[in-house]
Chains A and B, each alone.
Chain A
Amino acid sequence: MSKTPPDLRYTEEHEYVKETDDKSVVQVGITDYAQGELGDVVYVDLPKVGATFARMDAFGTIEAVKAVSELFSPLAGTVTEVNTALESDPALVNRDPYGEGWMIRLRIKSPKELDDLLGSEEYTKHIGE
C-alpha cells in the first residue's frame, strides 16, 4: 500500500504538492506510488532556478529501469529551488519521496489552481488502492 499523506495535493500524473512555510511557494515531487511503479531511479533531470512553467508543462524527466518519463508541473509558477542532492543520490526519490526526495520548489502564479488538484482520498482512488 503506497503512502498518500492527507495534507498533500496530487495530480493524476503522480506528482504531489506540499505546502511550505511561505504560502506562495510549494514543494513538488513524485508520489510514493509513482516511485514504486518506476523502480530504481537512476537519474533526475531538473530545471534551473528561475525557470517558469505553465500548469502541466513538463519541468523535467526521471529515469528508472531504462525508462525516461516526463515530470509535470502541477501548477503554473517559477522555480525558486531545485533539490541538487538528487544529482548525486537520485535514489532519494525511492527512499523518501515526500521528504529528501523532493524535486523543485515553485513560487505559484495562481493559488486558485490548488483547488484543481486531487486530495489524498481522490488520488488513492485514482491509483486503485
Chain B
Amino acid sequence: MRWRQIETTGLSGAENMALDQTLLDEAERTGQAFWRLYRFEPSCISFGRNEPARERYDPDAIAQLGCDVVRRPTGGRAVWHEHEVTYAVAAPVQAFGSLRDSYRAIHERLAAALQALGADAKLAPDRPPPPAAARHQSHACFAAPAGGEVLVQGRKVIGSAQVRQGKALLQHGSILLAGSQDVIRAVSRQPSAASGEMTLTAALGRRITFEEVAEAIAATWDDTLPSTALDRPRPPLTDRPPSIARFTDPAWTWRR
C-alpha cells in the first residue's frame, strides 16, 4: 500500500469534513490510501453522524459561546476540537480488514508515535461494551474508551470514529494536546458525567505542540510501514474540489 500524506491547515469544521469525505471518495474510486493531520480553525464542536443532536445539545448555548459546529460523516459522539492534532486515514478496506482490526492497526501506529514522545500509550483491551445505561451518562466522545482505542494512564487520549463506504474506509480522530471537553458538557441539554479524557500535556508534564506530534506520527507511520513511502513533494489532492455544501447545511448538522 502506497500512502499519500496530505498537509492542510487553516480549515473550518465544514471544510475539514468535506476534505475527509473527498479523501474517502478518492480512496473508494482509485484504491489509493491517504492520511493527513490537521486542526480546526476556528475551534469547533463536531457531532457524530447519527447523534440525536437536537435532543442532546442546545443550539442557543452553542451560539452564545460562539462555537463553530459541524456534523461528521463518521459515527460516534460529540467532540470539542480545540487543542488537538486531528488525524484522518482514508484507505481501501482491504488495507486494514475488519472494523476491529482497522481501529487497532491505525491506533497502534498513533500509539507508537505517542510512545516516541514519552507517553505511556496503550491500546484499550477488547471487551464487552458497558451496559447501555452507563454508556449514556455522558455524550462526550472521550467519556468511554472502546476496545483498541489509545489510552494514557488508563484514560482516553485519542477519540476516533469511522465510516465505511463501498470498499473504502475513513477513520479520523482527535489527539488531545491540552484543554478539556468541558464545552460539550456546557452545551448539553442534560447534565452529563465528567468526561474521562487525558491530554498529552497532562501526561507528559510539559507543553507539547502540534508540530511535535505531527513529526512523531510522520516518523512512526514510515517506520511501521517499511514497504511504503510517502509522496514528497505532495501532488495535488484531486482534480475535484471538496464540496462543503453538505457540511455547512444546518439541515445536515441538525438532521437529528
Q: Which residues of A contact B (CB under 8 A)?
A: 37-40, 42-43, 45, 61, 63-70, 91
Whole-angstrom CA separation of A42 from B100 in the bound complex: 16
Closest to B93 in A: A69
B75 contacts the other chain (Cβ, under 8 Å)? Answer: yes
> B50 touches which one: A40, A68, A70, A91 (CB < 8 A)?
A68
- Give the Cβ gap from B91 to chain A, nearest Cβ, in Å: 14
- Are A68 and B75 within 8 A (Cβ)? yes
- Give the Cβ gap from B171 to chain A, nearest Cβ, in Å: 8
> A68 touches which one: B49, B98, B100 (CB < 8 A)?
B49
Number of B interface residues, CB 8 Å? 24
- Are A66 and B146 within 8 A (Cβ)? yes
- Are B50 and A65 within 8 A (Cβ)? no
B246 contacts the other chain (Cβ, under 8 Å)? Answer: no
B165 contacts the other chain (Cβ, under 8 Å)? Answer: yes
Closest to B160 in A: A66
- Are B50 and A42 within 8 A (Cβ)? yes
Whole-angstrom CA separation of A39 from B98 in the bound complex: 11
Contacts of B147 in A (CB 8 A): 65
- Are A65 and B146 within 8 A (Cβ)? yes
- Are B99 and A68 within 8 A (Cβ)? no
The number of A-B residue pairs with CB atoms under 8 Å apart is 60
> B165 touches which one: A37, A42, A65, A70 (CB < 8 A)?
A70
- Give the Cβ gap from B48 to chain A, nearest Cβ, in Å: 7
- Are B98 and A67 within 8 A (Cβ)? no
B174 contacts the other chain (Cβ, under 8 Å)? Answer: no
Question: Main SS of chain B's interface residues?
Answer: loop
Most buried by B among A42, A65, A69: A65
- Are A66 and B162 within 8 A (Cβ)? yes
- Are A38 and B164 within 8 A (Cβ)? no
- Are B129 and A66 within 8 A (Cβ)? no
B76 contacts the other chain (Cβ, under 8 Å)? Answer: yes
Contacts of A40 in B (CB 8 A): 129
Contacts of B166 in A (CB 8 A): 70
Whole-angstrom CA separation of A115 from B256 in the bound complex: 39
- Are A43 and B50 within 8 A (Cβ)? yes
> B161 touches which one: A66, A70, A91 (CB < 8 A)?
A66
Contacts of B146 in A (CB 8 A): 65-66
Closest to B99 in A: A67
- Are A68 and B129 within 8 A (Cβ)? no
> B163 touches which one: A39, A65, A67 (CB < 8 A)?
A67
Contacts of B99 in A (CB 8 A): 37-39, 64-65, 67, 69
A–B Cβ pairs within 8 angstroms, 18 of them: A37-B98, A39-B129, A42-B75, A43-B75, A63-B49, A64-B99, A65-B103, A65-B129, A65-B147, A66-B76, A66-B146, A66-B160, A67-B74, A67-B99, A67-B163, A69-B164, A70-B164, A91-B132
In the complex, chain B residues 5-57 whose Cβ is within 8 Å of any chain A Cβ? 48-50
Contacts of B100 in A (CB 8 A): 37, 39
Whole-angstrom CA separation of A67 from B100 in the bound complex: 10
Whole-angstrom CA separation of A70 from B168 in the bound complex: 11
- Are B164 and A68 within 8 A (Cβ)? yes
- Are A63 and B129 within 8 A (Cβ)? no
Contacts of A38 in B (CB 8 A): 99
Whole-angstrom CA separation of A66 from B98 in the bound complex: 14
Contacts of A65 in B (CB 8 A): 75, 99, 103, 129, 146-147
